[in-house]
Amino acid sequence: MTALKNIGKSVTGVFHRRGKDGKSTEDENGLNTMVELEDDVDASEFEDDENEVVKKPKSRRPKETKFTQQKIASFNPVLTPKKVLPIYFFLGALFLIFGGVMLNNARHVDEIFVFYQDCDTNAPTDDFADVPDDHYKYIFHKAYNKDDLPVPQWKYVPDSDPDPEELQTGTCQLRYSTPYSLEGPLYIYYYIENFFGNHRRYVLSFSEFQIIGDKATLGQVKDNIGINCKPLVRDSAGKIYYPCGLIANAMFNDTFPDTMQVISEDSGDQVDTIELSNKNINWSTDKDRYKKTKYSPSEVVPPPYWKKQFPDGYNDTNMPDIHEWEEFQNWMRTPAFSKFSRLIRRSANSLPQGQYQLDIDLHWPVTIYNGKKAAYITHGSTLGGRNTAPGIIYLVGGSICFILALISLASHLFWGRSTADTHLLSWNK
């Protein structure tokens, strides 16, 4: 006992363990429990433990909603014949109605095709002659006497000073007739066959930087990944083509007139004209993409096949503005198939019964790759051209729905069973 008391007196600081009532307690031997305090810092830590605010960890539990807690009521319909059959009959009737309207609308579109790809070699130069039977196609929805409708005619007028480097020059004059008046507006297209504009290298050969009007550098038009102007980037002098690439270089450039001549059926002379326009021949949204270039005329050169249109290159007066050039915008829309047409002229007027003439300047040869080109005249419809495929597809779909509905109805009436028949359960058999 004495030794223990001496040890307790020699420590620098002591404290007694206290109970809940604040009084000191003694151990089994009747001694106060003594603990040596190492320093003041540890003592302060003991004092602050009671006041320390413990932060709760951030909960990752989803919010208490029916969606996050997956408590949304499920919808499990029981498909009975009484519910399914009306749906089939309704869809069948709807498809048949839509298909009938679309097919009827398409069949009321009149079309005139006159092919002229070999006009410079096969058409006479002194007078008009009938085109071959495989060079035209008439499609009229109203009844008419085919014997009274003359065969289209053509005539070739060579240039007075043809360019020896050009593969096709001169003017092809086409005459065609209508058995009755065609309602306006009137649309004139150029129609191309056997031109594969969907080739993987061709469709990527242009510069989007030039399209949106930027002053594209050589690296942007040549080294851009994916879409670039290879192999037509710049000329031998190092100047960039504008617009560059295969698509722009191959642009259809047969010149269609701004007027269509009305020809007297008796004398064969011109008696009137119908005005044609190259405005509003494309989607209005195309102008949002095609912008006027920031190039100066001295910085760029025309593509190689544009030489006849720009023989001396670009200047301040002839620099093309692709924002307003709708024929260019139509051509840059690459075709999905080898046969396609592009709108090039339109007229808000109707086309009365009679004979008409189009004078087309030739610049775009197609016979070198066995291609064909034609002047395609139509009045269109509210649903487009003479395309019967959508209407037929709807009719087929509606017929299938009706057939399935009839088969289901017959099976239900003759071989049907009551819903939830317990006799058909496996343990009842």
Cα 337 to chain center, whole Å?
15
pLDDT computed for residue 18 by the predictor: 46
Can you give the length of the chain in residues? Answer: 429
Could you give the maximum distance between any two Cα atoms of the chain, in Å? 152
Q: pLDDT confidence of 429, banded at 50, 70, 90?
A: low
Half-sphere exposure of 415 (CA within 13 A, CB side): 4
Contact yes or no for 115/135 (Cβ under 8 A): yes
User: Per-residue pLDDT for 25 more than 80?
Assistant: no
Q: Which residues contact 196 (CB under 8 A, 6 or more apart)?
A: 202, 338
Q: pLDDT confidence of 52, banded at 50, 70, 90?
A: low
Measured CA to CA in angstroms, residue 94 lies from 79, 89, 91, 97, 375 at distances of 21, 9, 5, 5, 38
Measured CA to CA in angstroms, residue 151 lies from 136, 143, 193, 226 at distances of 8, 17, 22, 49
pLDDT computed for residue 10 by the predictor: 45
* φ/ψ (deg, to 5) at 192: -120, 140
The answer to which of 184-193, 332-341, 412-421 has the lowest mean pLDDT is 412-421
User: Per-residue pLDDT for 423 more than 70?
Assistant: yes
Position with higher pLDDT, 104 vs 36: 104
For residue 250, count other CB atoms closer than 10 A to its CB.
Answer: 17
Q: pLDDT confidence of 4, banded at 50, 70, 90?
A: very low
pLDDT computed for residue 303 by the predictor: 95
Residue 367 to residue 378: CA distance in whole angstroms: 25
Closest CA to 379 of 105, 167, 173, 47: 105
pLDDT tens track for 266-310: 888 889 999 999 999 998 899 999 999 999 999 999 999 998 889
According to DSSP H, which parts of 139-290 are helical? 200-203, 208-211, 218-222, 246-249
Q: pLDDT confidence of 164, banded at 50, 70, 90?
A: confident
Pairing mode, strands 354-361 and 171-178: antiparallel
